[in-house]
Amino acid sequence: MISQYIENANFEDTGFSYTLSLISGKYKMIILYCLMEYGAVRFNQLQRYLRKISDRTLSQNLKELEADGLIHREVFPQIPPKVEYSLTERGRSLMVVLDQLCVWGEQNRKT
């Protein structure tokens, strides 16, 4: 399967490249994993989970994940405003792939 991607003259047109473009970066996979583990999560909860991420970086990553259809942003009409993030169906389908990365890492971790 991977050989298909190597032989393909235009790597950017492959499904592999597309998937990587959705989850690339330091925090996107961690954000997705957090939403899988905890369900609907507020901005501050995500920030606590990720620890060293700035407001701006987290906000940008959330906007990109939302634009890609992987997460849903729900705004509750109340004072003070409440916003929660959760996985979309499309995002949940990607979790199968991320879960396999975790399994591989556990099985192949050097001790």
- Asked if residue 38 is part of any domain, the answer here is yes
Residue type, 3: S
% of the chain with per-residue pLDDT over 90: 61
- Asked if residue 33 is part of any domain, the answer here is yes
Contact residues for 88 (Cβ-Cβ < 8 A; gap 6+): 69, 70, 71, 72
pLDDT digits (tens, 9 = 90+) for 62-106: 999 999 999 999 999 998 889 999 999 999 999 998 889 889 999
Other Cβ atoms within 10 Å of 87 Cβ, number:
22
% of the chain with per-residue pLDDT over 70: 92
What domain count does the chain have?
1
Domain of 41, CATH number, reads 1.10.10.10
What's the CA dihedral at 39, 40, 45, 48 to 10 degrees? 30
pLDDT digits (tens, 9 = 90+) for 19-31: 888 998 899 999 9
Element housing 44 (H / E) = helix 43-50
pLDDT surpasses 70 at 8:
no
- Asked if residue 18 is part of any domain, the answer here is no
